[in-house]
Amino acid sequence: MELIRGTHNLRSRHRNCVLTIGNFDGVHLGHAEVIKSLVEKGKQLDLPVTVMLFEPQPQEHFAGDKAPPRLSRLRDKVQRLSELGVERILCVSFNQRFAQLSHTQFVEQLLVEKLGVQFLVVGDDFCFGKGRQGNFDTLVEAGNRHGFDVVPTASFRVQQQRVSSTLIRQALKSGELEQANAMLGYPYQITGRVRHGRKLGRTIGFPTANIAMNRRVSPLGGVYAVRAFTRQGDCFVGVANVGRRPTVAGTRCQLEVHLFDFTGDLYGQHLRVELLHHLRHEQAFDSLDALQNQISKDAAQAKALLSAS
């Protein structure tokens, strides 16, 4: 898989491809279907399967902090898209300059001249170019003129609902984790490096590996049964909290995971934590004793759920 960062890094060898365009936030089952059909087309035409995505996502460029929380970061998207058979990812810097491109410039300069697109799949609600003036019909017309085919993505549904990043965010936010995971096609996960905390966890019998969410806003919060993987491939089950920890006057949102059957040191290690079952909302307890008592119950509930699944 080749990651091309910025349109200025496109070379003549990148011309001629089958292409899809989008944010691919979460790389959910709907996205996977699109990629699957694109991979087939790529084989048929013997052309590389290329995805164009944007960083930051256009909504983040326009709305800043008011943009919806991300389901996945670029590196997670790249990993998952390459597992699905994508051969090239063009990551377009969505900045002021790019946002000013007219829809005809987008088509002529980028799709035709730089990418030499032969086959394009996009949603029939796809809008692009300055003022969102380009749409599916504009692309079909451009395709007729320049000699490429444009095909709409099929609506992929789970339990009668059209899978979308927005629907998954809503499910995560309202604690419907199993539903979100069913639409993602894999368990929602948070990855990051284990940091030092206040060393309180060990004093109440529940050491927790802390992963800062940094500038990421979490689409969910609360207590979860989890599975965690180290870079070396070790796998543990445990119980975790995503939140600000009001009991200990925490301020920033972080993931804290207590692993069952583990003793040792995880500081500095990279953990990938899969969230499997939602147990409860985060609460402010009156004392550390009350928190400890509740975490014992959470751990028992998580163990029961994890052994049943």
Ligand X SMILES: Nc1ncnc2c1ncn2[C@@H]1O[C@H](COP(=O)(O)OP(=O)(O)O)[C@@H](O)[C@H]1O
Q: Which residues bind ligand FMN (CB under 6 A)?
A: 197-201, 206, 208, 210, 223, 239-241, 245-248, 256, 258, 282-283, 291, 295, 298
Check whether the bond before 152 is cis (ω within 30° of 0). no
Residue closer to ligand FMN (CB basis): 93 or 294: 294
Tokens 């609360």 belong to residue: 222
By CB under 6 A, is residue 243 in contact with ligand X?
A: no
By CB under 6 A, is residue 291 in contact with ligand X?
A: no
Window of 23-31, 106-114, 142-150, 260-268 that interacts with ligand X by CB under 6 A: 260-268
263 binds, among ligand FMN, ligand X, none (CB under 5 to 8 A by kind): ligand X
In the list 190, 266, 299, 302, the residue contacting ligand X (rule: CB under 6 A) is 266
By CB under 6 A, is residue 285 in contact with ligand X?
A: no
By CB under 6 A, is residue 196 in contact with ligand X?
A: yes
Enumerate the H helices of the chain as residue ranges: 29-45, 58-63, 74-83, 96-99, 103-105, 136-146, 165-173, 177-184, 288-308
Secondary structure element (H or E) that encloses residue 210, with its range: strand 209-212
Identity of the residue numbered 256 = E
Window of 6-14, 137-145, 202-210, 294-302 that interacts with ligand X by CB under 6 A: 202-210
CA–CA distance, 170 with 219 (Å, rounded to integer): 8
Identity of the residue numbered 20 = T
Q: Please, what is the minimum distance in Å from the beta carbon of residue 203 to ligand X?
A: 7
Tell me the β-bridge partners of 254.
212, 243
